[in-house]
Structure 1
């Protein structure tokens, strides 16, 4: 149940004089939504605040706690009242640090005796130990640290005084496995402190009701959560950069516009240049550095850099020492860098909610417009940028998926509870089903999860290593021993990255052999990347050129180098999908000729050329073109459903085309289209039969059985559930060692227990995450009877961006861009030729 109040129905909240004077001293007045959050606290209500960036959301979340702590008496050193009062949870370490700095401003200026500290994976062990012995009043941390808290012995006593939990940027976390683990942690805290209030904050929620239901601590989801909505702020000013009056036909980096981006940086106080992948961040940073004739202080920030390097960049931003930072999503949530006056989005944003978050980093104040510049890398991206621009103007966010809690995440939580204190099945099931994603969890399914933690499942129960919990004399479950509990605490969390190696600067130890040893950590990159290198190969990382030397354990040792044509590492799984709502808007723009007038002239001409050479599809149909080119025959379709869904569809279509006798040879995809080429023509194939939704039945199952993706997904589920542990005291398994272990277990389970809980979970994860089956199913249903087939004699204008990808997927770095440029140039000339080829 949710309760939304309008200002007219609420009495005016009164700020205590201390706080009223502080607002006045800054020339401020408390905003309506800040007063409503105080009223919610006075009524003991849980609350969800949805307010624009720069509207004081974080302060609104903390104000009730600050007021309550200011009015309390002396804090006892031990016993009741000496524990954590407010727990703040953020999805980003950088945001936690930023909030600590900003929260100290009112505390210091008002003169409050309130102790605030942060705790993340980067916090020193000595400080963590001190926090355990002497808790701060307000503790700022991450969901992973909450999972660790839940696995502490003594956690119940530590959080007995907890009055409030503040969840910042809740939209970024609630619907995935991190959200599952967070929700289970909240349910645990509510058992420790029944009177605890839950407060969630966000600027970009499409459906507040969904989040409010998730936030509710009731088994039925019917405990009141007050939804508070902030007043709209000044609309952002969003420009789209059209480099030299032209938009490229194809591309994905925006390299063509780097000189204009550099000029924009020179005219700004501090610019944040957002990109969508870590590879792009390294690439764009290098491109800017090469033309930085003015020696502007430009920095780089992404999640694979060493924590020390990220902190240096953040500190330099706070001091005003930088002019630009090239960054990924590590800086796009809630961080208040006051001097940022320009946000640049390199390439299309892939979602309107993400764009709003990023734009909000500029002029982080509600009443001043944020300024943003989007840099489309291609003409289809130009359409996407325009769609995103219009979505932001309409305050329309990306649609939220409905999420059901995953069982591998629940297994991790069960193990954590056993490490903290013994539990009974009945009590823990009752607790777990108060967590939003697990309200429908049956007792039988819960028993199966507990059995997984206790035995590994019946196919593995004869192996002693999988017995992690045991019953005590009272029939309650507890950790098998202290060593098992320690290993669990070292492996908590729901973020599973591909196997990575620490990139360390090498030095030579004395002696005749002069052995290389690892020194300063530069960051992390994926293990498979280094396995392709030979000693002496050069690559760009952290904005510098390195020469690879050797892999030792979990470290890749490197030395400084100059090197010609250095490569850039590629990180798997880091590309954002095109959101469903933005894809729908792009299809609408293409269909609506009147809408074309807002687009650059060359993009309008491109659309008109497509209409004359092929056809412009309607918003509810899908265009399929077939044509010969060279000795091959092509089928190009335009679903506009994102790279992931298109890849899965191509894998299934090529199987079906093979059975139809077309002789498919390969495929490539973009976020907007897909291309398949074959030995025989495909222009007479029954396209309705080819795209029949039943392709998601037997074809999908057969393909999954053969696919390496299932093993990779199972590996992730095994790590999250704790069946396999990567980190152990004094050691850490390499990615290859983890993969070897999980592959063995996967094969055993497929033979002896094909309905094993983790196999079922892996199939569901593969369908949702790796394959985007749900979105694919919606696409196939939508286009049935609405496929527009155009047999052509040559490639169409729309087909150029996807066709130039052929051959490029096996090349990286500048070489890939060169291939893209050269093949695009030849293909564009072919498309523009007035005379059709013989």
Structure 2
């Protein structure tokens, strides 16, 4: 008869076999999970968070007979789900080998890539451990027997909680957790992350406003190296994209010096372009430098991940598709092309190298223009001081709630009062008003007051006992096929003709501008368009050159944390502190900015005015991020027009904005009135008046309408085009504005436009801070180094590529000549 070994001995033997010793934080998590306690684990990437929580569940259940779905593991990405399953499987196999008498854990993976036969098998006999995503979890909750399916559930783990916390997928997860806790009151819930700012707020969002739990922080001294590739000749007049390509030889040298490197870019278009640049310099790397981003086909991404794991790739040019905790042990270096835009993102990407306890993580920033040297120095200073961005949950998005009501209506039904109490057990909806709740019920029951005549919107209806259910099987199928909170622009599949390999997707608007024979770069290949049929672009291999697709939503605004640190770094430079390599390299720009104008500081608001042949310029530098600057520029232009009618050209970047008036303006005299801070509500009203807010909200409404189930993307093989989706949602938008102005989705679109897209709260905070500072208004004789990228941004919007480059080069020559004089 086999003797069962002690759980602690089994874990000790497992760690010893791998040459490890358990950390104190891992032991802490094991003890807390064994005691039935929930919590949030915050530890550096590659320190053993997965083993801490997985072995905690195994340890807690060692003396029990495990049956049914016992441990649910939620991850934000499909790729991460598959990698997590492999890591958990290896650990459980090792433990079961050490203790043959321990309970056998069956394992299952359920994502959008899971085959129908696998899903059917999981339905007949649920695995002990199921790794899934928020969307697939919602699908499980929509099963008629959902409560029975989860009847043995003991543990839920939410991996990479920071990735979900601040968005609608996180809200979807909060609602799912509230449902599971109602069914399983003793459910133990743990979240994991490496890059959270406000840990207490993150824990509260995970466990609910009244949920108690532990906060476990790993106090590990994992070595992290952050440095910068310094350009040979940093430029005094920076502009986005100009310096990046010139850094390619240095990037090649860094890749050459290491076994395996991840080259992160901030957009998919940048990833495509950078791979091209690398291969122009090293054509012999064609087979060992790959590309990875979210628009590539799953098969393409899987192939790259497998090759990266076994060390077959010299480098992968990638985007946030590889940000999360996928374990690539061969990776020695991470390069970040351009600004990471945030401290947390930089830390997350740094952790992709040295992804194991005791190994060194190293990230090297590659500036695409000279001001990013200052950003790099600021990011390093923020990390030394422990300043990391906080994320907050969206507040009461009605589109996600409406979708959840239909999901629960399919998953056994609900009593409205009971479900309202459950929904309010989430941070997202703890302040949900009775009025909004009644509106959601009416919306899913009959589409609200304007759609009650149409059967397709009678999705959830009460039965004789008052239980609200989805009765129409056709509507239930439609809901299952369109469930989720991920909304993207309509895309076109790229596939080799006639019916060959699928490479991935590009946006429909990009393909719509092309004709057969046109060439474009995609998936690291030069392709020629053959034809477009049924939202599929059939292609063949091309030769020569071509365009690169641009995807919407690529630009990320500079975070408040990094922006504030950047201003403080510039203030220190104003006092002569340029000790870091980055600031020494940026010294020519900094000194010229001081000579011709001034540097921003936390105590001053820098404004610059300039009269040129184009008109009267105002440059203002709040350092509030691109989105807030767009709102600020529009607001100040609108206020200026109230003083004296006129039209304005606007340019914005992360550091500031430019207003250009064709007519004479005394910007310096008007500035105190233009930047005056009023209440948040008054600022919000002014922003709405200063922009074409109705049209912007119309575009936002399309995404909300999809999530709420008002419009659908279609069925497999019958996907709707972007034009069809926009037309459908616009029709609803116009009807609601005319006949139902209090419609909850309409109000949500306007709120999200202001809160997310235009970032009105940050805009208002920026106005308040601007008024608290001393106004430092400088009349320029010529464009300053800080003003130059704004002028370049305005030129880019109005000129062709050839005209833009020529004009920029002429302006640079004039400015450099003046600087050298």
Asked if Structure 1 and Structure 2 have the same fold, meaning a TM-score greater than 0.5 normalized by the shorter chain, the answer is yes
2:29 pairs with 13, 22, 37, which one? Answer: 37
Q: Distance in 1 between matches of 2:365 and 2:235?
A: 12
Q: Do residues 223 (structure 1) and 214 (structure 2) align?
A: no
How big is the shift at 1:810?
5.8
**Counterparts in 2 of 1:519 and 1:693: CA distance versus 1, 3 Å:** farther
Superposed displacement of residue 761, structure 1: 0.7
2: CA distance, partners of 1:216 / 1:295: 48
2:577 maps to: 595
Moved more, 647-656 or 276-285: 647-656
* Structure 2 CA distance for partners of 1:355 and 1:41, relative to 1, 3 Å: same
In the alignment, which residue of structure 1 is the partner of 2:795? Answer: 807
- 1:271 aligned partner: 261
Give, in whole Å, the separation in 2 of the partners of 1:648 and 1:39.
50
Structure 1 SS opposite 2:672 = helix
Show the 5 A alignment for 1:164-243.
164-217=155-208, 221-243=209-231
Cα distance in structure 2, aligned partners of 1:648 and 1:196: 45
The equivalent of 1:6 in structure 2 is: none
State the shift of 1:68 in Å. Answer: 4.0
Aligned to 2:56: 64
Measured in 1, the distance between the counterparts of 2:767 and 2:796 equals 28
Contact 1:553 1:734 in 2 (8 A): no
Q: How far apart, CA to CA, are the structure 1 residues paired with 2:612 and 2:418?
A: 66
Residue 324 of structure 1 corresponds to 315
Instruction: Please show how residues 239-388 of structure 1 align to structure 2 within 5 Å.
Output: 239-247=227-235, 249-253=237-241, 254-295=244-285, 297-388=288-379
Shift, 1:146, TM fit: 1.1
Quote the offset at 1:402 in angstroms. 5.7
Evaluate the alpha carbon distance shift between residue 550 and residue 620 of structure 1 in structure 2; reply closer, same or farther with a 3 A threshold.
farther
| Contact kept? 1:468, 1:479, Cα under 8 Å | yes
1:543 corresponds to: 524
Where does residue 725 of structure 2 map in the other structure? 738
Q: Displacement, 1:109?
A: 2.3
Q: CA deviation at 1:826?
A: 2.9
Q: Distance in 1 between matches of 2:358 and 2:235?
A: 33
How many residue pairs end up in the alignment? 799
Question: Unaligned 5+ residue runs, structure 2?
Answer: 1-5, 98-103
Tell me what 2:663 maps to. Answer: 680
Match of 1:718? 705
Alignment partners' CA distance in 2, 1:833 and 1:658: 36
Q: Distance in 2 between matches of 1:438 and 1:550?
A: 48
Show structure 1 runs of 5+ residues with no match.
Answer: 1-13, 76-80, 508-517
What secondary structure, in the 3-state scheme, does the structure 2 residue paired with 1:153 have? coil
2:95 matched to which residue of 1?
110
For residues 472-551 of structure 1, the aligned pairs below 5 Å read 472-507=463-498, 518-551=499-532
| TM-score of the two chains, using structure 1 as the length reference | 0.92
**2:84 counterpart (99, 111, 117):** 99
Please, which of 566, 569, 572 is the counterpart of residue 586 of structure 1? 566
1:539–1:569 contact (8 Å) kept in structure 2:
yes
Counterpart of 1:339 in 2: which secondary structure? Answer: coil
User: 1:248 Cα shift?
Assistant: 6.7
* Native 8 Å contact 1:805 1:820 kept in 2: no
With over 3 angstroms needed to count, the CA separation of the structure-2 counterparts of 1:835 and 1:729, relative to structure 1, is closer
**1:662 and 1:680 in contact (8 A); partners too:** no
C-alpha change, 1:482 and 1:620, in structure 2 (3 Å) is farther
Rate the CA distance shift 1:102–1:729 in 2: closer, same or farther, 3 A.
closer
CA distance in 2, matches of 1:402, 1:688: 35
Relative to structure 1, is the Cα distance of residues 382 and 18 closer, same or farther in structure 2, using a 3 angstrom cutoff?
same
Mapping of 1:388-467 within 5 angstroms? 388-401=379-392, 403-467=394-458
1:10 corresponds to: none
- Shift of the 132–820 alpha-carbon distance from structure 1 to 2, 3 Å rule, reads farther
Does the C-alpha gap of structure 1 residues 410 and 334 become closer, same or farther in structure 2, counting only changes over 3 Å?
Answer: same
1:776 maps to 2:766: no
Per-residue deviation, residues 65-112 of structure 1 (Å, max 9, x unmatched): 222454434x5xxxxx3x211111111111111111112222222335
- The CA distance in 1 between the partners of 2:266 and 2:306, in whole Å, is 23
Task: Kindly state the Cα deviation for residue 602 of structure 1 after the two structures are TM-superposed.
Answer: 4.6
Shift of 1:123: 1.8
Distance 1:15 1:207 in 2: 34
| Per-residue deviation, 1:245 | 4.6
Q: Residue 644 of structure 1 is aligned with which of 627, 634, 646?
A: 627
**SS in structure 1 of the partner of residue 475 of structure 2:** helix
Report the Cα offset of residue 16 of structure 1.
Answer: 2.6
Measure, in 2, the Cα distance between the counterparts of 1:127 and 1:403. Answer: 34
Report deviation, 1:202: 0.7
The Cα offsets for residues 669-720 of structure 1, whole Å up to 9 and x where unpaired, read as: 1111212222123334511212234573443223455542211111111111
SS at match of 2:348: helix
Against the structure 1 CA distance between its residues 567 and 698, is the aligned structure 2 distance closer, same or farther, given a 3 Å change threshold? same
CA distance in structure 1 between the aligned counterparts of 2:12 and 2:223, rounded to whole angstroms: 29
Q: Secondary structure at the match of 1:634?
A: strand
Pick from 12, 21, 37: which aligns with 1:20?
A: 12
1:342 shift after superposition: 0.3
8 Å Cα contact 2:171/2:394 also seen in 1: no
Aligned equivalents of 1:69 and 1:663: distance in 2?
72
Answering whether residue 619 of structure 2 is matched by residue 625 of structure 1, we say: no
Three-state SS of the structure 2 residue aligned to 1:797 is coil
Tell me how large the CA RMSD over aligned residues is. Answer: 2.1
Determine whether 1:796 maps to 2:796.
no
> Which residue matches 1:3?
none
- 1:135-150 correspondence runs (5 A): 135-150=126-141
Mark the CA change 1:248 to 1:568 in structure 2 (over 3 Å): closer, same or farther: farther
Cα distance in 2 for partners of 1:350, 1:744 equals 37
String of CA shifts for 1:116-159, please: whole Å, max 9, x gaps.
Answer: 22221122222122112122111111111111111111111111
Cα gap change, 1:600 to 1:829, in 2 (>3 Å): farther
